Amino acid sequence: MRYDRPGRPDPLVFHVPHQFFECLQQRICGRRQPTRKDGVKCTWNITNLLHVRHIFETPDVPLEESKTFVENRDGTFEPYEPPCLTQEPHSEGVPAIRPLELKTFLKVGNPPQSVPFVIEWTPDVLPRSRVGELRLKFEYGHLRNGLIDVRS
């Protein structure tokens, strides 16, 4: 996710073994589904960010659902990690100086328009090696000081 890009990237396409997808499918559905022999594409439209987090987040790799940026003088953007507020010395009556808040966030089921996170699985793209195609489609939005920033 980048602040200087529009929020509709091309789908991410991966060629993965069936075993990997079966593990991922357990996280999507929570129950074992029968293996389909017809080679038909399966699609899941996920409209809850907590469900997306449950599918993709692991103890070692957390899902980064938003990212903060700062704008450079030349108009480019770079990731910014805001410091923890508890570590800053507190001055009575003096507000803390912070940079302009530019944030990119994963749009999943956010009103007013509900945007699904789409997972598509096409089995047997390479049938002998049991490899299928996993396609992920998503959108992200931009905030500038807490207000939605529309980018084309």
Distance CA 121, CA 45 (A): 12
Query: Using 50, 70 and 90 to split pLDDT, how confident is the model at 152?
Result: very low
- Strand runs labelled E in 76-138: 77-79, 102-107, 117-126, 131-137
Distance, in Å, from the CA atom of 148 to the CA atom of 144, rounded to the nearest integer, reads 6
Q: Is 51 helix (H, G, I), strand (E, B) or coil?
A: helix
Q: What is d(CA 109, CA 67) in angstroms, rounded to the nearest whole number?
A: 18
Tens digits of residue pLDDT in 60-102: 999 888 888 888 888 888 888 876 655 556 667 777 666 677 8
pTM for the structure as a whole: 0.76
pLDDT tens profile 7-41: 788 999 999 999 999 999 999 986 656 555 667 88
The answer to whether the beta carbons of residues 102 and 144 sit under 8 Å apart is: yes
